[in-house]
Amino acid sequence: MVYLTWWLLAYLCGAFPFGLLIGQVFCKVDPRQHGSKNIGATNVCRVCGLKYGLLVLGLDLLKGFLPVFVGSFISNSPWFLSLTALAAVSGHMFSVFLYGKGGKGVATTVGVCLALFPKILLIGLIFFVFAVWITGYISVGSIFLVTVLPMLLLFSEKISYMPLTLVLGGLVILKHKANIERLIAGTEKSWRKK
């Protein structure tokens, strides 16, 4: 019962739509109606500016980090922490406060990984930065990050979290379906100055 309650709290924590709240309170805009129509940090940055985008990034990251970090005091079992992580990220992606809709889950995924395997995450983020630098697309970096994490775990003592990263990677890629379509069509927005 304690575990189920914690997973529900992790989901609700992840489900809180900080991007929407910050967009409406500070910028007087609904991110769902502008740019990529997403409530995540990347779109809030485009719509509201860098400082608000970074604020959303930090808060969305904490939505993943805190449930897993605090949950580790309840149990250090990999399956318990994996389900806690999945609940938090699923909350962000499929928020009860947004009628089952939500963000793409990248920042929240980074948050749970930071709590579970920070050193491996750091290597993954190097791949992320490299991919964005080469291509100019945040979406490519995000997809590259969640693709490389399971491979990095394969060669580490944290291999028990590999199933989690495979599931989260699949969900993140699924949430990037529209981005992938725009990349193929050549209409995806780049962060490079034209």
The 10s digit of each residue's pLDDT in 158-190 is 999 999 999 999 999 999 998 899 889 888 878
Q: How far is CA 19 from CA 56, 62, 100, 112, 162, in A?
A: 6, 13, 15, 18, 29
- Report pLDDT for 25: 87
Q: Which residues pair with 107 in a beta bridge?
A: none
C-alpha distances (whole Å) from 158 to each of 12, 90, 155 are 27, 22, 8
pLDDT at residue 32, rounded to an integer? 84
Which of the residues in the chain have pLDDT under 70?
192-194
**Paired strand residues for 171:** none
Return d(Cα 117, Cα 153) in angstroms, integer: 9
DSSP designation for 43? H
Phi, psi of 66 (to 5 degrees): -60, -45
CB of 62 closer than 8 Å to CB of 18: no
pLDDT of residue 48: 86
